[in-house]
Structure 1
Amino acid sequence: MGTAPDYTHNINPEHALKYAIQNIRGDRAQIIEGVIEPVTPTWDHEAAAEAIRDQIKPRVRELGCVTGSGNLDLPGSPNWYVPDIAVVPADQAKGAGALLPDQTLLIVEVTSESNGDTDRVVKRKRYAEYGAPLYLLVDRVERSITLFSEPGHLGYTRAEGPHPFGSPIALPAPFDLSLDTTDL
């Protein structure tokens, strides 16, 4: 009786996991530190994201960019994120299956009861590690908003906030606009 061939020596676990996540039928999913999580935002979660998207959209167009919740790959890690909003140059978005965080101009995450710590801690750290220049955290549980900037391998070195909802928050260049956070 022979033994079955061992095919596992040629399999890259990171690539296998990311391939699987891209080929799930039905709902979208992301990978957070190696754990597959479905992306199923509620309507109030979507309303908060839409309130931000509506305010930044004119400037995003002027910059030749698009907003979306496309896939972000974090190579060399077991992470594949689906942000609530990412602002990326339109030419990079065309035909891209996934982008890297450093290819964005802004990433926005809106917390939920179930993922608040992921957005506050894990994603904030990983987005900084992977060079996302601006990370806006809309914390619906804490009812606050914080803008993180100046990314590095140890995290963001600058934080503007947390500010309570209703306080304006300034998005720096290239946006140069103030967000109204009243309706978040």
Structure 2
Amino acid sequence: MSTAPHAAGDYSTVSDPERALKYAIRHFAGDRVEIIEGVITPRSPSWAHESAAEVVRRQITPRTDELDLVSGSGNLDLPGSENWYIPDLAVVPAELAAKAEGALLPDQTLLIVEVTSPSSAETDRVVKRRRYGQYGAPIYLLIDRQNRTCTLFSEPSRLGYASESGPHPFGAPVRLPAPFDVELDTARL
């Protein structure tokens, strides 16, 4: 039995659509593109969005330095799904980051932070919360700029997260658990 030749624009014969989609964004779409539930989504965060992530980064930097961790916004692959995320902030072991040529997995992170935008708020609140938990990210901090709250999720499970702290209004302290053991000042978010 022979297979039909692949015609340009016809992807019905692609044997592994997840792999093809992830290859395409890594090699042809640029640096700031995510795949969210199979939809290619360009990212262009505003300065206010970047500022919120920076507020968290500055507060955790002394602790990340002590623990030999790196914070950044590198690619995260969710194998077995059509998802490829670029978190606003992720914290990983420095040794792991130094060796990573491609994407890391959510369970290799110690903390993931997402900051909502009007265009991504529901994705960050629902889809990413569920997927990060399913893929073992130990701590997910959601900074919801539209609702002016922070919610901390922990104890990942196959359904998402088993533990939720918040939502805490901006201005209320939010305690990041071990290994960070840092109380975040959210007044400037």
Please state which band the TM-score falls in when normalised by the shorter chain. Answer: over 0.9
Q: Is the 8 A contact 1:27 1:39 kept in 2?
A: no
Tell me, in whole angstroms, the C-alpha distance in 2 between the residues paired with 1:4 and 1:103: 39
Taking structure 1 as reference, are residues 27 and 9 closer, same or farther at Cα in structure 2, changes over 3 Å only? closer
Report matched runs for 1:65-144 at 5 Å.
65-96=69-100, 97-144=102-149
Tell me, in whole angstroms, the C-alpha distance in 2 between the residues paired with 1:87 and 1:157: 21
Aligned to 1:54: 58
1:131, distance to aligned residue in structure 2 (A): 0.3
Q: Does 1:159 align with 2:164?
A: yes
Gaps of 5+ in 2: 7-11
Tell me, in whole angstroms, the C-alpha distance in 2 between the residues paired with 1:37 and 1:5: 31
Tell me, in whole angstroms, the C-alpha distance in 2 between the residues paired with 1:39 and 1:77: 20
Q: Is the 8 A contact 1:85 1:107 kept in 2?
A: yes
Q: Does 1:41 align with 2:40?
A: no
Tell me, in whole angstroms, the C-alpha distance in 1 between the residues paired with 2:166 and 2:14: 47
Tell me, in whole angstroms, the C-alpha distance in 1 between the residues paired with 2:74 and 2:15: 26
RMSD, aligned CA = 1.6
Deviations 1:89-148 (A, max 9, x none): 011112421000000000000000010000000000000000000000000000000000
1:28, distance to aligned residue in structure 2 (A): 1.4
Taking structure 1 as reference, are residues 10 and 41 closer, same or farther at Cα in structure 2, changes over 3 Å only? closer
Tell me, in whole angstroms, the C-alpha distance in 2 between the residues paired with 1:76 and 1:126: 12
Tell me, in whole angstroms, the C-alpha distance in 2 between the residues paired with 1:79 and 1:73: 7
Taking structure 1 as reference, are residues 10 and 53 closer, same or farther at Cα in structure 2, changes over 3 Å only? same
- Report the number of matched residues: 182
Gaps of 5+ in 1: none
Percent identity over the alignment?
A: 64
1:11, distance to aligned residue in structure 2 (A): 3.0
Aligned to 1:182: 187
Which segments of structure 1 move beyond 2 Å, counting only runs of 4 or more?
3-11, 24-27
TM-score, structure 1 normalization: 0.95
TM-score, structure 2 normalization: 0.92
1:26, distance to aligned residue in structure 2 (A): 4.2
Partner SS state of residue 28, structure 2: coil
Aligned to 1:63: 67
Partner SS state of residue 94, structure 1: helix
Q: Is the 8 A contact 2:116 2:146 kept in 1?
A: yes
Tell me, in whole angstroms, the C-alpha distance in 2 between the residues paired with 1:81 and 1:153: 18
Tell me, in whole angstroms, the C-alpha distance in 2 between the residues paired with 1:168 and 1:71: 29
1:6, distance to aligned residue in structure 2 (A): 2.5
Q: Is the 8 A contact 1:101 1:131 kept in 2?
A: yes
Q: Is the 8 A contact 1:27 1:38 kept in 2?
A: no
